[in-house]
Every structure is written in C-alpha cells, then in structure tokens.
Structure 1
Amino acid sequence: MNRTSKLCSLTLAALLLGCATPGRSSDRADGPTQTAQTQWAAWSPASFERAAQQDKLILINVVATWCHWCHVMDEVTYGDPEVAALLAEHFVVIRVDSDARPDISERYRAWGWPATALLSPRAEPVLNLRGYRDPQVFAALLRELIAEHERGELHRRDDPRETRVSTPVDQDLDRIRAKATAQLDRYFDVNGLGWGDKQKYPWSEPIEYAFLRARLHRGDPEHAQWRDRALATLDAEAALIDPVWGGMYQYSLRGVWDRPHYEKIAMIQAGALENYAHATMITGDARWLDPARAITSYLLGTMQDPRGGFYTSQDADLRRDDHSSVEGEVYFALDDAGRRALGIPRVDQAVYADLNGLTIHALAELYRASGDRALLDAALLAGARILETHARQPGGGDTLALAVSHGPDRDADPLRYLADQAAMGWALLSLHRVTADPRWLNAATQLANFMLASLAAEDGGFYAHTEDPHAVGVFAERRKPLPENALAAQFLLELHAVEDGDGSTPTPYLEHARAALLAVGGDAQIESRGKRVAGYLSAIELLGASKIDITVVAKPGDPVGDALWQAALRVWEPRASFERSEPGQRYPDTGAAAIYLCSERSCSRPITEPAKFAAEAEAFLLRE
C-alpha cells in the first residue's frame, strides 16, 4: 500500500472527510502509470438519458485546465485499470471544464478542483469529493456505491461543504451585514495577513470591502483599522508575482506567501489589479503601481487575444504531448531563457465573458489610478470584442435587451449566465465612467434589462442561468448563488446611480438590487459561503450609502475640462457616479470649466483648478 493509501481509510466515513493530497505542485502522487483510459461523455441530455435508461450511476468530474491535481488524478487515478473498468461498467462519466460552465462551477466550487460528484441514475446527489483521490481508495469507494445501488440502498451523504439555502426571514440588511462582517473578520490572519491561514489566496473582495468599510465608517476605529490591514495584505501578496514574466500565481501554501502554486488565472490577475489600483488612489502613493505593472505586463503580453479580450489561464506545470512534465516549482525557478528552452506552459485561450468583464473593470480602474492610456485601450478593445462576438439580442424581438453568451460561439450553449451579464454590465459601466461614451452605458442598460426579464426570480434575486428545459434531477433546480447575486446587485446599484443622477429619474434597478441582497441573505447561505461574503457585504454598504454625483462642466475639447475630468477620475470615491455636461445643461455657464460635487444634502462650489481638486473634493466628502 502506498503512502496516500496508508493515510486514508478505506471506509466511506473517512472518504467523506476527504483525503486530498496536499496541494504542493512538487509533491508527486504515487500510483500506477496510465494503462487504461476512462471514456468521458459530454455534458448533454443524451448522457443523462443513457444513465437513466441503463440504470447507471453518474460520475461528474469538474476540472480546470490549469489544475495540477486534475492532471495527476487524470493520469494516475482515472488511468488505473480497476478504476477504469468499474466506471465503464457501472457509470456514465462526464467531465466538465469549470471555466467553461459557470453554473457547474458555482454548484461545485466549494469542493475545489478536481471536484467529483457522484449521483444516482436520475441525477440525484449521493456524494461529492474534494481534490485528488488515490486509485485504490477511489476504487474501494466505487465498489461500495455500486453495491449500495444494487441493493437499492443508495442514499445521499451529508456534506458540510454543501451550500445551504434557507428562506430569508430577516429583512434587516444592517443586521445581516453585521453578522456576515463578523464571519468574514474571523478569517483574517493578523500575523500572517490575508483571509485564511493554511493557504494564502490573494482574495480581492475582502480587500475591497476593507477599503470600503474604512471609507464609509471612517469615524469608527473598528472599521478604520481595516484599511491598514488591507494594505499590509497587498504588500504581502506581492510575493506571489512571478519575478520573471510577471502575473500573479493563484495562491501560496503552508500559511506563508512565498510557497506558490504556480497556475495563473484571469480572476486572480483582475482582482489584484483592482486592489492595487484602489490602493494607489486611496493612499496617493505611486509605489502600488509597481506590482500592478508587473501583472499588466504579463496580462497584455501573454493573456491578451489579438482580436481583443483576454484568455482564461496558464497551467501550473509544463506538460508535454508525450505526457512528460516539468513541475511548476522547477520550471518557474528558471530565468526567461531557461523556461523558453523547455517550452511554454499551456495557455487556455478561451475568451469567457465573466472573466473578461472582471478584467476590463480592473483595467479601467487602473487607468484611473495611473493615466496609462495603453490600459484603457486594452479595456476598450476587449469591451468591443465581447459585444461583437458574445452579445446578441434575445429572442422575441426585444430591442431594449441584450444578452452575452459565455463564450464566443453564441449557439454552442443555449444558457445565458448571471455571472456573464453581471460582470460584463459592471465592466461596461466602468468604460462609460472613464470615457463618458454613451454606447457603453446603452449596452450596460440592455444587459440589465435582460437580467430583469430572464434571470430575475418572482420572489427576489437572480437565478444563476436561464431556464434549462433539458435539465434533470438536481440540475433542474435553478439556484440563486450569493456571489453572483452580490455582483449583480453592485452592477444594478451603479447603473441606478448613473441613470437616476439627481434623484429625478426612477429606475427598476435599485429595488431589484435590494431584492437580490435580501434573497440570498438567509443565515444558512451566509454561513456556508465563508470568505465569499465579502462582495455581498460591499453591495450592502453601497446600497445604504449616501450617493455622490461628480460632474465636469465644460465644452467638448476644452483642455481645462479634460484635465478636470482626469483629476476627478483619480479620486477613489466608491459612492460616486461621474458625468460630463456642457455648460447650461445641468449647471450654469460660468464661462470656465468646473467640477461640481453634489450629495443628497448639498453641492460644492465650482472647482476650476485640476491641481486643487483632490484636496477640495476630500474636504467636501469628509462632511458627507
């Protein structure tokens, strides 16, 4: 019996606790070389129909192209002759790329990748497993489930990782916020920094919430301390940036920041850029741009599609066609020449709407902080590309709505996902904010209209995807995931602020945002989301915050007006909406370009000097 088998009991109780091999890319899993091959079925109605007709169990293997242990389990466990034989005779086995299917990723992300879902022939949940499984242990589990099924005793196992959903009974978002904030704060590692202690992830949403709560509750020491904690965490996580090619690794092991797991994924790059951009604007210290530049050099050099948009990920290891590999710890220790001599780890060149939305938003924010036009150009090109290749008006001739598909083949997957609409809508608003070009606002509004028409639930909140008429078993249940609803709420809140402006234009977006936050605010769902409540908390804060309107009044092409616009963009005020207006439209023509800040209670005097705007704006905002 090998090392992993000794550590893991062959009983089902031990399997329920999980025996994932520790996630160091240099650790090798013992096991046989690949002598068999598991035949994977497509995720399709036909696959589920075959399972029901043939009374076969279902195994769903959720993977990521960049995932080290997914590759190891594929070669070692699914290549084991006994495992392959058991699966071929008794199971319909389906593999899903987590990046390609937001709905499946949302359902199983609590188990990490690889996630293994075992279901009845009618697609009823039985057991979910986290991480790598030794072939001997895995085969024992398969035999036990087969025997249970043949005896008619197959049953669902309780799992603490399962996302629990309870009907929200509390309509008090302040109380929900207090409970969720206390939950998030318990994860913070005061000594090692960051949220979590065993594995150090560069979680971007807790940092954004830390910045936001410190800003909105600046008089409260309990909240104000989080600004410095967030900045210290950003300093620490810079150790995850590849010193040769740039880009940020996904996470670090063993409770420290300098033992990286070497995959580079789009979500991590986008989140880090957003954080460093806001740190620059909050502190006025340009040193925060240095790590951001190291990430953007990688993003624009390796991950940008020539047509616009950004790829999904780069593998942690160099994996060759002959199945040999160079593991990340060895490969990424080399200099540029040494790496290139061996080859380049695989880049997943899929261009997905949700990941591009997050990246576009981050680049637009970094442009605000740095003034680097190349970043804005990349964001604009990506936005135009997604609208060209992913967006389409839905059926029924509704010209006021627009939906984006997950990938560029709009007919390959008929479902439309909340994550895509919310992330791209949020991104398009960021492009409108920095350019004042109405086409981005128009497209964002059309995406919001689609969300309200096709994804909103009658009892509040948004479903993860449009209705799937072919879904069976547990997959026929349309879920309301908390992180996606939080992003949708934040998008709608920003859209409402832009459309409503001075409070004279009612929109449906505000109430749908509020309803979404209430719909996913049940205690059970909050508790089961752990650290993932940070984005939700930011949305609650923004819902309750007083609104700020920043308007630059100037004639088109006025150089002073343009300078005032750039000065306004460099101010980090998350409550603010930005607008350009010609003299005499909203504000009187004083004969000079000016900026006006207005709250729900008062307006500033006209500010006419770009160099003085930051100080005068801060003095005004501190009173609000």
Structure 2
Amino acid sequence: MEYALARAQAGERVHELMARQTLNQAMLLIDTDWGGIYQYSDQRDWRSPHYEKIMLTQTSAMRVYALAHQLWGSENEDYLGAAKLIWRYLEERMGAPDGGFYTSQDADVDANMDGKTFYAMAAEHRDKLGRQPRIDQNRYARENGWVIAALASMYDATGESAYLNRALSTVRWITTNRRIGDGGFAHVDEDRGVPFLGDNIAMARAFVALYASTGERKWLDEAKRTLTFIQKQLRQDMAGYLSHPIDPNAVGVFKRPRLLVEENVAVARVANQVRWYTGEKRFGDLAEHAMRYLASKGLTDIRLFLYGVLLSDLEVSNVPVHITVVGAKSDKQAQALYAAARRYLGVFKRLEWWDRSEGPLPNADVKYPKTPRAAAFACTNQTCSLPVFESDKVAAMVDRLLTPPK
C-alpha cells in the first residue's frame, strides 16, 4: 500500500485507483464494535474475515490509513476514522497496564465458539459472555516497534499529542525492558542471548519515525546505534541480513542462513533514511547490502509479488522530499510550521527541524539563509524553494517544488 500511495502522490492514476479501492474495501474487515482489523478475508468480496487480530495487521493498517488521510483527507474523514478505530482497539484491549503492547488476539473463543459466532455479537453481548478469544500477552520488541512507528504516523497526520505521548511511553518501556546493550534489543526478556533482526529493525524504524515527528536528535542517535548493532551481529557476507545468528551447534537444515524478504526490505528502507539524515556513507552501504539480497535472481525468480522490493528500490534510487523548518523549538511559529510539514504526505520524506542553538544539523548538506523569523524550506535533488513563513503555505510550497515544469 505504501508503494501505491507513493505512486498515487506522484500522479499515477492507476495506483491511485488501486490504493483507494483497497483501502475502501479493507474497511469491511474492521471490527466496528471493538475496533481493530481482522487479518484477511478468505473470499474476494472482503466479507469473510479470518478473525485473528495480529499486531502487524493492526499497525500496518493504522499507518496506511493515516498516510491516506494525509493525501486525501480534505475529501472526507473516512480514512482517519478507520485508523482511529484500529487504535481504539489497541488502546483499550491490547495495552499492558504497566507499559507496552501485547502481541495478538486469537480468532476463536474456544472449541465451542468460533470467531464468526463471537464477532457477530454486539459489544455489550460479547462483554456479557464473560470470555473472549485469547490474547497473547507477550510483549515483543518487534511488535512494540511497529506500534511506536504507527503512533508517530497518527501524530503526524493529526497533530494530536496523545498519540505521541503513547509512543514515547512505549519506547521508554521497551528500552527499559528489552535493551541488550550496544543498541540492540531482545525479543522477550527471557531471550537476551540471541538477537533477532525483526525486533531490531522494528525499533530502528520506530526511532527514525520519532526523530521525524519531534526533531529531537536523540532518536536519530538511537536509530544509528541499533543499525550499527544489526550490521555487526546479523550481516551475511554476500548479501542481506540474517533473521538471527546461526547457532554454532546447529545441525542439518538449521545450519542454513535464514533471510526474510520483509525484514531486509525494512533494513534497506530504514538504513537509507538514516543515510540521508546523517550523511554517513556507512548507512547507505548497509541499505545497498540489503538490496543485493532483495534484487538477487534467486529471490526474484521464485517470488512474483515483491511490492516491498519495488518500494525499497524506489527509495534507495531516489532523493527524498526534504522539508526543513529553521527556527527555535520554543518558537510558536516554528512549531506551527513543523506541524504543517509533518502533515504533508511523504512515504519517503526527510523532515528536519533546525534550531540553531543545537548546532548544525546532522547532515548539513543544505545552506539555509538567515531569515527574520521562523521559516520552512523544501528541497529535492539540489533544488530548494524560497522560504515560507505561514504554516498554511507549507504544502503548496512542496507541491510547487515537486511539480515538473510544463
């Protein structure tokens, strides 16, 4: 969906129709009583859900509906409403009392009541039943990283601080309870000896999302640490990154390296973002190493539907939309400009807030003129806009820069 939205924003009508149709039909999978979205439909009309609610489905849908709202929200509020329904479920039913989020909820109540029967009930009847599908109460770093990134997307789209506050409280819980040193994360508390790529790249992505949402450099530093950990612990020599280190005592098929497409897509995309944010070549090299695996003939010959590879290739091969707000973080005008810049859709966007009191930006590749008040600039491919000073002019400024001359 992110690939379709990126192409739709670029003016490709076919991808816009694909994105809209998919988003509209997927709303049929949303549980309008409790919130949340079911995993998939086993019929092509979208009306036969598999009732399991897994975290990947919740956070992915919440993010893409938030992105769609940024692109088409002026037309109606349906996409934002869908994202909020999914968040309501996570907030009310999947949040652990002391921090973090649980992993998933089963489809069926038990052997005597399947999901189709249970979820046909209204919310009050479900509650009166006294039992529900089992919730897996493990709190994995991976799933919580997904939640943090999705909440950052909701904050970007709405400006509502409750989403950011919950993202920050979740990242505090995960860094306190799942950190294993050198920037890495464990899957669960009892599993500190074997790092998994899924947990670490999800947290790296969460840190990058928080940096873009807040402009606070500590989150970019955290992303760098975690990517460095991935490079040291999980790099495969020829290409790509391992799902987990190979056990030296393993035998048979368990000695084979295991690489997952979706995880390497995430590595390529996150490392490429950090490359642009920092200007450090090593992160570009990290992204390209993941792409060697993703573009390998052995993979592309056996997988026909590789949308994530297309998206990674699009981003690694191009320059991001670059929006910078120059002004003190205590300045009300700068805050309004940055909020407007957050709202601007950019599946591949470099968003920065330069408060001169903090020193140069991590990647000071653009020289901004001094202005009498806080200002926003947009740049791409060595071309920059004139500054704008009003928040309601930010989107038009970026659109003008991205619109090719006739």
The code of the aligned residue for 1:418 comes to L
1:528 partner SS: coil
User: Given that residues 246 and 256 in structure 2 are in contact (C-alpha distance below 8 angstroms), is that contact kept between their aligned partners in structure 1?
Assistant: no
Counterpart of 1:336?
123
List gaps (5 residues or longer) in structure 2.
Answer: 361-366
The code of the aligned residue for 1:516 comes to A
Counterpart of 1:68?
none
Instruction: Work out the CA distance in 2 between the residues paired with 1:479 and 1:344.
Output: 36
- Confirm whether residue 259 of structure 1 aligns to residue 38 of structure 2: no
User: Given that residues 415 and 468 in structure 1 are in contact (C-alpha distance below 8 angstroms), is that contact kept between their aligned partners in structure 2?
Assistant: no
Instruction: Work out the CA distance in 2 between the residues paired with 1:250 and 1:545.
Output: 33
The code of the aligned residue for 2:332 comes to P
- Confirm whether residue 599 of structure 1 aligns to residue 387 of structure 2: no
Q: Across the two proteins, how many residue pairs are aligned to each other?
A: 394
Instruction: Work out the CA distance in 2 between the residues paired with 1:516 and 1:314.
Output: 32
Superposed CA offset, 1:539-560 (max 9, x none): 1100111233211111231101
List gaps (5 residues or longer) in structure 1.
Answer: 1-206, 394-400, 501-505
- Confirm whether residue 303 of structure 1 aligns to residue 84 of structure 2: no
Q: How does 1:159-170 map to 2 (within 5 A)?
A: none
1:241 Cα deviation from its structure 2 partner: 0.6
Instruction: Work out the CA distance in 1 between the residues paired with 2:118 and 2:303.
Output: 35
User: Given that residues 379 and 401 in structure 2 are in contact (C-alpha distance below 8 angstroms), is that contact kept between their aligned partners in structure 1?
Assistant: no
Counterpart of 2:146?
358
- Confirm whether residue 403 of structure 1 aligns to residue 191 of structure 2: no
Counterpart of 2:4?
210
Instruction: Work out the CA distance in 2 between the residues paired with 1:573 and 1:622.
Output: 14
Counterpart of 1:377?
165
Superposed CA offset, 1:190-213 (max 9, x none): xxxxxxxxxxxxxxxxx1111123
Counterpart of 2:323?
550
Instruction: Work out the CA distance in 2 between the residues paired with 1:583 and 1:523.
Output: 47
Give aligned-pair identity as a percent: 32
Counterpart of 1:386?
174
User: Given that residues 354 and 420 in structure 1 are in contact (C-alpha distance below 8 angstroms), is that contact kept between their aligned partners in structure 2?
Assistant: yes
1:583 Cα deviation from its structure 2 partner: 4.7
1:325 partner SS: coil
In structure 1, which of residues 497, 501, 517 is the aligned counterpart of residue 291 of structure 2?
517
Q: CA RMSD in A?
A: 1.8
In structure 2, which of residues 389, 398, 401 is the aligned counterpart of residue 608 of structure 1?
389
Instruction: Work out the CA distance in 1 between the residues paired with 2:260 and 2:119.
Output: 36
Counterpart of 1:316?
107
Superposed CA offset, 1:426-465 (max 9, x none): 1110011101122221111111101111111222211111
The code of the aligned residue for 1:295 comes to I
TM-score normalised per structure 1: 0.61
Q: How does 1:6-25 map to 2 (within 5 A)?
A: none
2:195 partner SS: coil
Instruction: Work out the CA distance in 2 between the residues paired with 1:424 and 1:268.
Output: 17
- Confirm whether residue 225 of structure 1 aligns to residue 19 of structure 2: no
> Could you say if the C-alpha distance between residues 556 and 215 of structure 1 is closer, same or farther in structure 2, counting changes exceeding 3 Å?
closer
Instruction: Work out the CA distance in 1 between the residues paired with 2:8 and 2:329.
Output: 37
> Could you say if the C-alpha distance between residues 334 and 574 of structure 1 is closer, same or farther in structure 2, counting changes exceeding 3 Å?
closer
Instruction: Work out the CA distance in 1 between the residues paired with 2:203 and 2:302.
Output: 27
In structure 1, which of residues 410, 422, 433 is the aligned counterpart of residue 201 of structure 2?
422
> Could you say if the C-alpha distance between residues 244 and 558 of structure 1 is closer, same or farther in structure 2, counting changes exceeding 3 Å?
same
Instruction: Work out the CA distance in 2 between the residues paired with 1:479 and 1:244.
Output: 40
Superposed CA offset, 1:132-184 (max 9, x none): xxxxxxxxxxxxxxxxxxxxxxxxxxxxxxxxxxxxxxxxxxxxxxxxxxxxx
- Confirm whether residue 458 of structure 1 aligns to residue 237 of structure 2: yes
Q: Which protein is bigger by CA-based radius of gyration?
A: 1
Instruction: Work out the CA distance in 1 between the residues paired with 2:349 and 2:211.
Output: 13
1:484 Cα deviation from its structure 2 partner: 1.2
The code of the aligned residue for 1:386 comes to I
User: Given that residues 390 and 410 in structure 1 are in contact (C-alpha distance below 8 angstroms), is that contact kept between their aligned partners in structure 2?
Assistant: no
Instruction: Work out the CA distance in 2 between the residues paired with 1:226 and 1:600.
Output: 24
Greater fraction helix: 2
Superposed CA offset, 1:469-528 (max 9, x none): 23221011112222211111111001111111xxxxx32011221121122323342243
Superposed CA offset, 1:309-345 (max 9, x none): 21111111112xxxx5311111111112211222222
Superposed CA offset, 1:357-404 (max 9, x none): 2221111112111122211111111112111111121xxxxxxx3111
User: Given that residues 546 and 600 in structure 1 are in contact (C-alpha distance below 8 angstroms), is that contact kept between their aligned partners in structure 2?
Assistant: yes
Counterpart of 1:39?
none
Instruction: Work out the CA distance in 2 between the residues paired with 1:460 and 1:421.
Output: 18
Superposed CA offset, 1:208-237 (max 9, x none): 111123345x3xxxx431122111110001
